[in-house]
Structure 1
Amino acid sequence: MKDPYHKILNLFPEYANAENTDKALIEQLFHPVTLKKGSVLVEENSIPGYLYFINTGFIRVYYYHDGEAVTSHINCPNGFITSFGSFMAQRRSIEIVECITACSVLRISRKDLDLLYERSPKWAEAGRKIYDQSIVYNEQRTRDILTLSAEQRYLKLLNESPGLIQQVPLQIIASFIGIKPESLSRIRRQLIS
């Protein structure tokens, strides 16, 4: 990728013409990293060191319940990801954050994120917007799990994130929408026929 900061700087159109000092802060505090498929960004029972902005690839957050991996979140380019509660509180995570595909990311430590917010009111506001969007997303996801059928959840995901369906293994998608892989296979067969 020619300019690893292009996507994050254009994430909010109102910041596209950000002052040079704001751009310089992003370039100073976010560090580009290339990751292989299967790279673990946050290990279970560790304190997350970084918040990640995804330039390319797919990353998931999961935990184990009764010996099975349960995917609680999948994110794609232009999204932020980590074990959020643990990162913000700097406490041990019960979640694991892992690259589903090869990824190109920008990462920032908690200390540097606080510094960014302190030095740039524009990025402090952007952080608040991202946090607000995350709360709305999680509330909607909870409602979907409780009120939509498995087929409806799959169709919604297919409609909203077609790239995810093409790039992410079916067992992870099944876990993410709260069903067994064989149930997802059955739903997919029914939709094709």
Structure 2
Amino acid sequence: MNKAGFVLAIFVRYSEKYFIMHDRLLQEMNSDFNFSSDEIETVKLYFEPVSYSKNTVLEEAGNIPEHLYYIVSGYLRLFYMDEGGSEITTHINCPPGFFTSYTHFISQTRSEDHVQCITDCNLLRITKENLDKLVSTSQTMKDFSISVFQKSIAYNENRSRELSVLNAEQRYLKLIENYPEIIQNVPIQYIASFLGMKPESLSRIRKRIIK
């Protein structure tokens, strides 16, 4: 294969990959909302396909979040550093779904959280400026964006309730019931922190459940 043919083959392969990434997002968007063909093309234009390797920090604490991410594959977490220098994981997202430090992204204020890839990730991302453009030109996109934000609020409220009323073992059992694949993809220390316990405590719970 000559150089031109090789370049074309690479372009086609990556074009197919990006088509699949956009297709995952569009399937979710069209499941509850009716987007026109023009709106779909605009979404493709503004949502940028990107891939990152494991442990990459996408957004750093102390900065205004630059992007809203749609997870096509892989796992992300939101975490901050406590006064003792320990990492506290506040959110783990399983694909597919949207992810960022929502409140700070929407208000464009500095976030206390880091956004990090737990695994290799294929993502679509959009800036606040481009999201605003989409929302201002498409009522369907506006409705969809409101729905995503409402789901984020509901999730956080439910998570706060679970942390206050469920014991450690109940929280773990509920997590693996809803997201069984998380155990194979996310380190135990992140899961333990997310569930509000020490890794040793989670290890004991897992051993007790296995027995």
TM-score (normalizing by structure 1): 0.96
Give the match for residue 60 of structure 1.
Answer: 77
Deviates more, 1:81-90 or 1:100-109: 81-90
Q: Quote the Cα distance in structure 2 between the aligned partners of 1:24 and 1:129.
A: 21
Q: Which has the larger radius of gyration?
A: 2
Give the match for residue 111 of structure 1.
Answer: 129
Query: In the alignment, is residue 189 of structure 1 matched against residue 177 of structure 2?
Result: no
Q: 4+ residue stretches of structure 1 with deviation over 2 A?
A: none
Deviates more, 1:100-109 or 1:81-90: 81-90
Give the match for residue 46 of structure 1.
Answer: 63
Comparing both structures, which one devotes a greater share of its residues to helix?
2
**Number of positions where the alignment pairs a residue of Structure 1 with one of Structure 2:** 192
Deviates more, 1:63-72 or 1:107-116: 63-72
Q: Quote the Cα distance in structure 2 between the aligned partners of 1:3 and 1:158.
A: 28
SS at match of 2:63: coil
Query: In the alignment, is residue 78 of structure 1 matched against residue 57 of structure 2?
Result: no
TM-score (normalizing by structure 2): 0.88
Superposition RMSD on alpha carbons, in Å? 1.0
Give the match for residue 128 of structure 1.
Answer: 146
Ranges in structure 1 where 5+ consecutive residues have no aligned partner: none
Question: In structure 2, which of residues 183, 186, 199 is the aligned counterpart of residue 165 of structure 1?
Answer: 183
Question: In structure 2, which of residues 35, 38, 44 is the aligned counterpart of residue 27 of structure 1?
Answer: 44
Deviations 1:87-140 (A, max 9, x none): 111111110000000000000000000001011111111111111111111011
- Assess, with a 3 A threshold, how the Cα gap between structure 1 residues 136 and 14 changes in structure 2: closer, same or farther: closer
Deviation at 1:14, TM superposition (A): 3.2
Q: Quote the Cα distance in structure 2 between the aligned partners of 1:123 and 1:135.
A: 18
